[in-house]
């Protein structure tokens, strides 16, 4: 479910991804790392780009927009796909701090507000050419990052996830900006947007693709969830195919410690295994079955103050006694769409083909983050009213998250600690 809604302040301007980029764009630079067990981690250069929907987009010689989130493009500007490309332009962005994005070395800061205005940025990881997305292939590997969640109260969602977007963001003669301008977004929710892969979405189709939610969290609760689809790449849906019984798993197979009755595992203070009042390291491993080469499980480990914190073994009635996401766990937890759409094998196949790293920070204007942290839904310790933006700001007037030290490579290569879970590194047969 990680997506980050386009903020109302931008949606009201009618912003949408444009086909004709104008002006210059300066992408923030981010140091990342590639790791092996034998050689350790080496630095690499990446950049980040803001989603095309959040750039300034308007009709030629006009301040009128070209469409808004959840709808097809403006009919006047876009009677045809070719007319969209001619009539709609996208302004470049050279100061990413105006949309809450700053980078320093290997650190990325994302703010919910800038000058008390909601910006709710969603960004994607570009490769070192700045023309294509970094296509990560995590099957059989692990991915690690550090996070500071201290300014994320109930109702906030800091998200880091994978989307099976195209490497060039759908760049073609009608979409000249491509990945360099943040085009091509899709996820398992199959949202309707004015443009799909940067081309006018005249039919109002949904943009679907495989989604792997590595991190959806605030300081009170968190979840990891794979969302497979039964189609590869960007898939356009209509009618029932866009719904909950359609081509993509909208709910996903979630692992939320609070839902698993592990209520002292993650939270604020030293009484929790993972203390969110301090930064910590998040490790996600994607081991494969030695016989098939297919994704076998998804393992979550934390490191804080040099000490490894493993996931606890499930002890909830009706669920298998596992400490990782497995197909039997997902089946027992009621993730029927996940099973129907290919389960872990389908998710692993998408990661093998290559996916794009997306990061966002967002809240829900109607308080609809209770699926992540709400006491009423058994998802966390937060009262429903705490998820309302006006109440979020009473607790934290400047919500933000900092991700840093993004590393990926062989299992067991991306982090160090005083007590290592050596047995977990072995791939299972």
Q: Is the dihedral of CA 245, 315, 426, 272 positive or negative?
A: positive
Exposed (0-12), middle (13-18) or buried (19+): which is 376, by Cβ within 10 Å? exposed
Extract the tokens encoding 292: 């098939």
Q: Are 388 and 155 in contact (CB under 8 A)?
A: yes
Instruction: Specify whether 43 is catalytic.
Output: no
> Which one from 25, 164, 168, 216 is the annotated catalytic residue?
216
- Do 253 and 284 touch, CB atoms closer than 8 A? no
Segments in 240-388 forming alpha helices (H): 327-332, 336-340, 343-353, 370-373
Long-range contacts of range 103-106, CB-CB < 8 Å, 24 or more positions apart?
103/28, 103/29, 103/30, 103/48, 105/31, 106/30, 106/31, 106/32, 106/33, 106/404, 106/405, 106/406
Give the burial class of 312: count Cβ atoms within 10 A of its Cβ; 0-12 exposed, 13-18 middle, 19 or more buried: middle
b/e burial code for range 199-222 (CB count within 10 A of at least 16 → b): bbbbeebbbbbbbbbbbbbbbbbb
Alpha helices in 221-286 (DSSP H): none
Does the annotation count 297 as an active-site position?
no
Query: And the tokens for 215?
Result: 């991190």
Q: State the DSSP code for 243.
A: S
H or E stretch at 394: helix 389-395
- Nearest Cα neighbor of 191 from 133, 136, 137, 122 is 122
**Given the DSSP bridges, would you call strands 157-163 and 211-217 parallel, antiparallel or unpaired?**
antiparallel
End-to-end CA distance of the chain: 31
- 294: how many CB neighbours lie within 10 A of its CB? 17
Cα angle for residues 18, 68, 201 (degrees, 5° grid): 60
- From the candidates 211, 297, 386, 400, which is the catalytic residue? 211
Distance CA 212, CA 246 (A): 18
* DSSP character at residue 314: P
Residues forming the active site: 211, 216
């Amino acid at each position: 479910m990680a997506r980050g809604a386009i903020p109302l302040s931008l949606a009201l301007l009618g912003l949408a991804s444009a086909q004709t980029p104008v002006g210059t764009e300066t992408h923030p630079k981010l140091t990342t790392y590639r790791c092996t067990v034998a050689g350790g981690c080496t630095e690499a250069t990446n950049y980040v780009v803001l989603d095309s929907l959040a750039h300034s987009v308007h009709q030629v010689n006009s301040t009128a927009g070209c469409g808004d989130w959840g709808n097809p493009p403006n009919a006047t500007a876009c009677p045809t796909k070719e007319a969209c490309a001619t009539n709609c332009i996208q302004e470049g962005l050279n100061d990413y701090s105006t949309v809450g994005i700053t980078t320093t070395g290997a650190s990325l800061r994302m703010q919910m507000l800038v000058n008390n205005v909601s910006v709710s940025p969603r960004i994607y990881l570009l490769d070192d050419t700045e023309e294509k997305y970094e296509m990560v292939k995590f099957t059989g590997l692990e991915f690690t990052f550090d996070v500071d969640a201290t300014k994320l109260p109930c109702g906030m969602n800091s998200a880091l996830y994978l989307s099976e977007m195209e490497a060039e963001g759908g760049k073609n003669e009608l979409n000249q900006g491509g990945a360099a301008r943040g085009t091509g977004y899709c996820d398992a929710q199959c949202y309707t947007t004015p443009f799909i892969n940067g081309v006018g979405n005249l039919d109002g189709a949904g943009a679907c693709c495989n989604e792997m939610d590595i991190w959806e969290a605030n300081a009170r609760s968190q979840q990891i969830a794979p969302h497979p689809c039964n189609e590869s790449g960007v898939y356009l849906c209509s009618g029932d195919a866009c719904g909950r019984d359609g081509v993509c798993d909208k709910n996903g197979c979630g692992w939320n410690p609070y839902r698993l009755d592990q209520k002292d595992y993650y939270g604020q203070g030293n009484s929790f295994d993972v203390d969110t009042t301090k930064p910590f390291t998040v490790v996600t491993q994607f081991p494969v079955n030695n016989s098939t080469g297919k994704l076998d499980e998804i393992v979550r480990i934390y490191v804080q103050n040099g000490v490894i914190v493993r996931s606890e073994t499930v002890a909830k009635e009706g669920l298998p006694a596992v400490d990782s996401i497995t197909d039997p766990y997902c089946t027992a937890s009621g993730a029927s769409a996940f099973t129907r759409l290919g389960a872990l094998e389908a998710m692993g196949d998408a990661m093998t083909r290559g996916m794009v790293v997306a990061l966002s920070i967002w809240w829900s204007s109607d308080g609809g983050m209770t699926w992540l942290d709400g006491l009423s839904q058994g998802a966390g310790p937060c009262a429903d009213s705490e998820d309302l933006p006006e109440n979020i700001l009473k607790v934290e007037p400047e919500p933000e998250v900092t991700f840093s030290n993004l590393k990926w490579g062989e299992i067991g290569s991306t982090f160090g600690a005083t007590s290592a879970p050596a047995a977990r590194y072995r791939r299972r047969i």
